[in-house]
Amino acid sequence: MQMAWHHLLFDEANQIGAGEYTFSYDIQTHGMAIIKISEGRIANWREYELKSPASWEEFVGRNKF
């Protein structure tokens, strides 16, 4: 099992963070998670993930940051 984070963001004023990742185990997926922190703990978590054999560079194509 392996995970690589590509972009991590955190808005301190609103206590909201997000990250894009690649996760590999029996399959490979690329995804994004977004969280809301409240009182020092994760209060909300939302995650989107797509199965893809493509590398991260191939997956994002020309839409790079």
Which residues, listed in sequence order, are joined to residue 7 by a DSSP beta bridge?
20
Query: Does residue 65 lie within any of the structural domains?
Result: no
Does residue 19 belong to any structural domain of this protein? yes
Q: Residue 41 falls within a domain, yes or no?
A: yes
C-alpha to C-alpha distance for 51 and 65, rounded to whole angstroms: 21
How many structural domains comprise the chain? 1
Q: Mean pLDDT across the chain, nearest whole number?
A: 96
What is the rounded distance in angstroms from the CA atom of residue 42 to the CA atom of residue 8? Answer: 16
Domain that holds residue 34: 2-50
pLDDT digits 0-9 by tens, 29-51: 999 999 999 999 999 999 999 99
What tokens does 26 get? 């029996």
**The whole model's pTM is what?**
0.85
